[in-house]
Amino acid sequence: MKKEFLDIPKNMKAIEIKEFGKAENLKLCVRATPQITNNQILIKVSFAGVNRPDILQRQGNYKVPEDASDLPGLEVSGIVVEKKGSNSNFNVGDKVCALCHGGGYAEYVAVDEGHCMPIPNGYSLEEAACIPETFITVWNNLFMRGKLQKNEKVLIHGGASGIGTTAIQLAKHFGAKVYATAGSDKKCKAAEKIGATKCFNYKTTEFEKEINQLTNKEGVDVILDMVAGPYISRNLKCLSIDGRLVIIAVQGGIKDEVNFANIMIKRQTITGSTLRPQPSRKKTEYVNSLIKNAWVFLDSGKIKPIIQKKFLLSDASKAHKALEKGDHIGKFLMKVT
């Protein structure tokens, strides 16, 4: 155990939300370094992922659980500097990535041991920071909840986003036929390059008509949707018999009118989830399932996160603005230490 890993400062730099609203409300501050409890790990953060739930929290539209840090940040990579609990799979000095219950926008973060993952072979710390929130969201919803199987057809909305690029790669390597949507021809080409059979520019085409034409009106077996709103009825038009629609965000709104008779006739399922409010033990289940079933593709280098740009922690507001602008392909990260 090297001495430098034992020197934990009492205070750390972090990004806090001064008040709900615009990106400029993210401010660099000094906070007390977190104190870990039993079966927790303290990580010295190297990189933190930037995700849409962080934006919603900043805007005041994402309720923070009572037992969570008020600091934004749901995924990090870094080095273990302290642990409590004899059953830990990780040691002080290990490089890890982890799903955070908030608090990732900081030099140190305390996480449950079960929410930590090893760094895949050949992955850099910055690539590893793209895994926890993003890969677990995709794995839980597309494969565990959506039950996507080999040789099935799947439609992934937001195909150029961090979630979208991850979902396309995972679905492709598990043997599914992948379709996607994106907001420009450039993004569509990027989605097709990493595994989508066809990506539709939703600004110039009607994806439901295109899907039905390409599938002889059979539709797709699973849809991963982050839009909701008016997309729900459109999704159901190109969802197959026994198809599953999985909603993971509501960027297009929380309401739509649907024909329940058609849902009954076609035996369709509509489901969805959010990750952060779920119990710690459920998140540990998702972590273990991801490692057991998908880690081989990461260790072999067959699946790699796509990183659009890295920002400094002090430039958190710029990172949020870049994500809100929406013209990226892949993930935004912040370099912390």
CATH number at residue 81: 3.90.180.10
Give the pLDDT confidence score for residue 6 in this predicted structure. 57
β strands within 183-337, DSSP E: 198-201, 220-225, 239-247, 269-272, 307-312, 331-335
Give the pLDDT confidence score for residue 292 in this predicted structure. 97
Task: Read off the pLDDT band of 62 (50, 70, 90).
Answer: confident
Predicted confidence (pLDDT) per residue in 265-320, tens digit: 999 999 999 999 999 999 999 999 999 999 999 999 999 999 999 999 999 999 99
Average pLDDT over residues 182-206: 97
Are 329 and 314 in a shared domain? yes
CA atoms of 88 and 40, how far apart (whole Å): 9
Question: Hey, how many other C-beta atoms are within 10 angstroms of the C-beta on 127?
Answer: 21
CA atoms of 1 and 5, how far apart (whole Å): 8
Give the pLDDT confidence score for residue 325 in this predicted structure. 95
66 pLDDT higher than 80: yes
Give the pLDDT confidence score for residue 63 in this predicted structure. 85
Are 97 and 221 in a shared domain? no
Are 174 and 220 in a shared domain? yes
Give the pLDDT confidence score for residue 4 in this predicted structure. 40
Task: Write down which residue in 225, 257, 272 finishes a domain.
Answer: 272
Are 297 and 315 in a shared domain? yes
Are 83 and 177 in a shared domain? no
Predicted confidence (pLDDT) per residue in 4-40, tens digit: 445 899 999 999 999 999 999 999 999 999 999 988 9
Are 31 and 158 in a shared domain? no
Are 119 and 216 in a shared domain? no
DSSP class per residue in 300-320: TTSS---EEEEEEGGGHHHHH
Q: Which helix (H) or strand (E) holds 44?
A: strand 40-50
Give the pLDDT confidence score for residue 2 in this predicted structure. 42
Closest CA to 205 of 246, 229, 163, 234: 234
From its phi and psi, is residue 119 left (phi > 0), alpha (psi between -120 and 50) or beta? beta
Number of structural domains in the chain: 2
Give the pLDDT confidence score for residue 180 in this predicted structure. 98
Residue 332 phi/psi, 5° resolution? -105, 140
Q: Which residues span the domain enclosing 93?
A: 3-131+276-335
Give the pLDDT confidence score for residue 5 in this predicted structure. 47
Residue 132 phi/psi, 5° resolution? -55, -65
CA within 13 Å, CB half, 46: 19
Q: What is the CATH number of the domain that holds 231?
A: 3.40.50.720
Residues in CB range of 52: below 8 A, 6 or more apart:
249, 251, 323
Residue 107, classed as helix, strand or coil, is: coil
Are 162 and 45 in a shared domain? no
Question: Residue 312 pairs with which residues in a beta bridge?
Answer: 335
Are 140 and 122 in a shared domain? no
Residue 2 phi/psi, 5° resolution? -80, 145
Are 267 and 152 in a shared domain? yes
Are 170 and 218 in a shared domain? yes
Are 91 and 188 in a shared domain? no
Closest CA to 5 of 117, 90, 130, 116: 90
